[in-house]
Amino acid sequence: MTRKKVGAIADGAFKVLLAAVYIVGVAPLGRLLGTPAWLMVVSGVTLLIGGGIEIGYTRSRSMCTYTRLMVAYDSGWVLTALVGALMAWQGSSAGGEVWIGYQTAAPIAFAALLIAAKPARTASD
């Protein structure tokens, strides 16, 4: 197993773990971030689905595809976190919703692009 494949599996596992934290800790995390409980639960469910698909497709998709998608996803995650933090610093209560909103939509987009990607070439191709 290559380091890239281990990284892709770890990325998916992190999403699954984060999903569990969001679902189990919905009330305290929702209060901390200023987000409604339903958004935390929906975000947890989409992270769970996205992480599961990410882990499941490691054998059939190229690591080049994974790397591109992970860089795009993580770049968006960092930018959204910065925007959310800036909004909170300026007194807005919507910073947490922006950040959790990204984490609700992005895993589904990631999973859809991964599913739509061409299968990896095998040695027999």
Q: Kindly list the distances between the CA atom of residue 26 and the CA atoms of 13, 42, 61, 62, 64, in Å, as whole numbers in the listed order.
A: 19, 10, 33, 35, 35
pLDDT of the residue at 125: 42
DSSP state of 123: T
Mean pLDDT over 115-124 rounds to 78
Cα 56 from chain centroid (whole Å): 15
Q: Where are the alpha helices (DSSP H) in 57-94?
A: 63-89
Q: What pLDDT, in 10s, does the model give residues 76-118?
A: 999 999 999 999 899 888 999 999 999 999 999 999 999 999 9
pLDDT of the residue at 19: 97
* Average pLDDT along the chain: 92
Tell me how crowded residue 28 is: count the other CB atoms within 10 A of its CB.
Answer: 10
Residue 61 carries which side chain, given as an amino acid letter?
R
